[in-house]
Every structure is written in C-alpha cells, then in structure tokens.
C-alpha cells in the first residue's frame, strides 16, 4: 500500500516496532503500520492507526505488559 506524503513524495507502508509511554511506563508495540516517505524521510501513521496505537499502549500498561502486538 502507498499513500502521498505531505511533501508530495510517495510513502510506502512499513511495519515497525514503536514505543509508547503513559506517565513513567514505556511499552513496545510490535508491527505498527506506518508510512515512510523516502523523499523527506518522514514516517507517519494514519488517524485510525494512531488511535489504535494509543489503545494498545493503554492496554499494555493496564495489563502490566511491557510489549504487545499491534
């Protein structure tokens, strides 16, 4: 999947591990979908995915897990 970056470049979908934080708890979420633009080297997630990322971070913190799949 591809999308257009704000710079006008072509951004490709990649899956990467992202760290999220709530207060002093840091958790790692695996395989977070993010678009990466080779032109400006910007990585970004779409609205629904960043919402889900925040939910996964909260779930991990609430369950005491240090890592979770997306």
Contact (Cβ atoms closer than 8 angstroms) between residue 68 and residue 22: no
The span of 25-33, 37-45, 48-56, 61-69 binding Zn ion (CB under 5 A) equals 37-45
* C-beta of 5 vs 60, nearer to Zn ion: 5
Q: Determine which residue in the list 37, 57, 60, 61 makes contact with Zn ion, applying CB under 5 A.
A: 37
Query: Residue 27: helix, strand or coil by DSSP?
Result: strand
* C-beta of 9 vs 19, nearer to Zn ion: 9
The answer to the question of residue 9 lying near Zn ion (CB under 5 A) is: yes
- Residue 28 burial (10 A CB sphere; 0-12, 13-18, 19+): middle
Q: Using the structure block, give the residue that is written with the tokens 């890592």.
A: 67
Q: Which residues bind Zn ion (CB under 5 A)?
A: 5, 7, 9, 37, 39-40, 42
């Amino acid at each position: 999947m591809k999308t257009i970056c704000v710079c006008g470049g072509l951004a490709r979908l990649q899956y990467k591990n992202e760290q999220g934080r709530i207060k002093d708890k840091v958790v790692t979420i695996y395989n977070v979908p993010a678009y990466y633009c080779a032109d400006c080297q910007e990585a970004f997630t779409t609205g629904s995915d960043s919402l889900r990322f925040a939910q996964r971070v909260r779930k991990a913190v609430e369950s005491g897990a240090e890592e979770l799949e997306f």
